[in-house]
């Protein structure tokens, strides 16, 4: 089912003709879907439900899909926001990996190894820091996967909404 908005005075016969149907059965179906409308006179601003199997009315029928270009604008904004979030996530992932590698490299040095061997408390702190760096990297990767899943879901919902609205 799709929703269209009437932009000029019209009637159901003109709407059905523009949508590729003009029989009594089509008219009855249209009335069942739109009990709130007087199909003899469709005023500008009226929202009309068309069955999913009906063709979309032509632009010359003075009918536009509900929302016009608003849905496309919403989708563009959502795509831009997702792209920015993905980019931030990728930068965070790269920083977490670089931090983990820098810590590991620092602890492999001769002086660090000697200090860690002499001081068990320092060795415990270094081990805890390495563990925290690994966990931070895993956390960033998990958030990236969640964002990817959320993105796919949002795009599917916007596509379904676009189909419903015509």
Q: Quote the Cα angle for 128-130-134, to 5°.
A: 115
Residue 68 in this model has a pLDDT that exceeds 70: no
Mean per-residue pLDDT over the chain, rounded: 79
Q: Quick one: DSSP state of residue 59? A: G
**pLDDT value at position 1?**
59
**pLDDT value at position 57?**
58
**pLDDT value at position 111?**
92
Confidence of residue 78 (pLDDT cuts 50, 70, 90): confident
Confidence of residue 18 (pLDDT cuts 50, 70, 90): low
pLDDT tens-digit series, residues 90-135: 888 889 889 899 989 999 999 999 999 999 999 999 999 999 989 9
Residue 97 half-sphere exposure, CB side, CA atoms within 13 Å? Answer: 7
Q: What percent of the chain has pLDDT over 90?
A: 17
**pLDDT value at position 26?**
75
**pLDDT value at position 82?**
80
Neighbours of 139 (CB within 10 A): 12
**pLDDT value at position 52?**
63
Residue 21 in this model has a pLDDT that exceeds 80: no
Going from N- to C-terminal start, the domains of the chain cover 2-65, 70-165
pTM of the shown model: 0.50
The continuous run of DSSP H or E covering 79 comes out as: helix 70-108
Strand partners, 3: 49
d(CA 70, CA 5): 14
């Amino acid at each position: 089912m799709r929703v269209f908005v009437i932009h000029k005075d019209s009637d159901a016969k003109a709407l059905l003709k523009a949508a590729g149907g003009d029989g009594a059965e089509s008219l009855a179906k249209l009335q069942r879907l739109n009990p709130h409308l007087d199909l003899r006179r469709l005023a500008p601003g009226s929202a009309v439900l068309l069955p999913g199997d009906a063709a979309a009315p032509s632009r010359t029928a003075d009918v536009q899909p509900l929302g016009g270009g608003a849905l496309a604008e919403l989708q563009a904004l959502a795509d831009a926001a997702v792209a920015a979030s993905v980019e931030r996530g990728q930068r965070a992932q790269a920083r977490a990996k670089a931090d983990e590698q820098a810590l590991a490299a620092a602890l492999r040095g001769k002086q660090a190894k000697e200090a860690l061997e002499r001081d068990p408390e320092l060795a415990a702190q270094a081990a805890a820091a390495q563990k925290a760096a690994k966990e931070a990297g895993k956390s960033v990767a998990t958030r990236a996967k969640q964002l990817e899943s959320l993105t796919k879901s949002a795009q599917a919902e916007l596509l379904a909404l676009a189909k419903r609205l015509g």
